[in-house]
Amino acid sequence: MVTYEHPQLDALGDGTRRAILARLLDGPLPVGELAREFPVSRPAISQHLRVLKDARLVTDRADGTRRVYTLNPDAFESLREYFDQFWNHALAAFKRRVETPSPRASGKKSTAASAKTDQPRTRRR
């Protein structure tokens, strides 16, 4: 059995954490401001932020007595590399499919052309 651990993907598995990341796209925010925008408690948001920080998706810095969180672009680059392998595979499969001649393509009219010629003619008065 193959197992693959990817803490960033695990962190993205929760809808609240994805929403926090989406909110941080607009810029850095302290925990209190983030918590006001969600229907969960501030400690719950802090726990979500801890998971995101452990996965390196966000970073934090002290600003007086507050912790301000921001997205970590380096972590998203590694996620992009991970997903690119699947995208590249899908593109290669699509290319093979498009470049493989269809058995129906040889010698048959297109559907649009045959539909046009197969319609009964109406008589003009």
Q: Is the pTM of this model over 0.85?
A: no
Q: pLDDT digits over 2-52, tens only? A: 556 678 888 998 999 999 999 999 999 999 999 999 999 999 999 999 999
CA distance 84 to 13: 19
Q: What is the DSSP letter of 24?
A: H
Q: Beta strands 29-30 and 58-63: pairing type?
A: unpaired
For position 110, what pLDDT does the model report?
Answer: 52
Q: Is 56 left (phi over 0), alpha (psi -120 to 50) or beta?
A: left
CA angle (17 as vertex; 12, 32 as ends), nearest 5:
155
CA distance 12 to 102: 40
Cα-Cα-Cα-Cα torsion 30, 31, 32, 38, nearest 10 degrees, comes to: 120
What domains are there in the chain, each with its CATH number? 7-72 (1.10.10.10)
Confidence class of residue 94 from pLDDT cuts 50, 70 and 90?
Answer: confident
Cβ neighbours around 102 below 10 Å, total: 8
Alpha helical stretches, state H, 13-118: 15-24, 31-36, 42-54, 73-99, 111-118
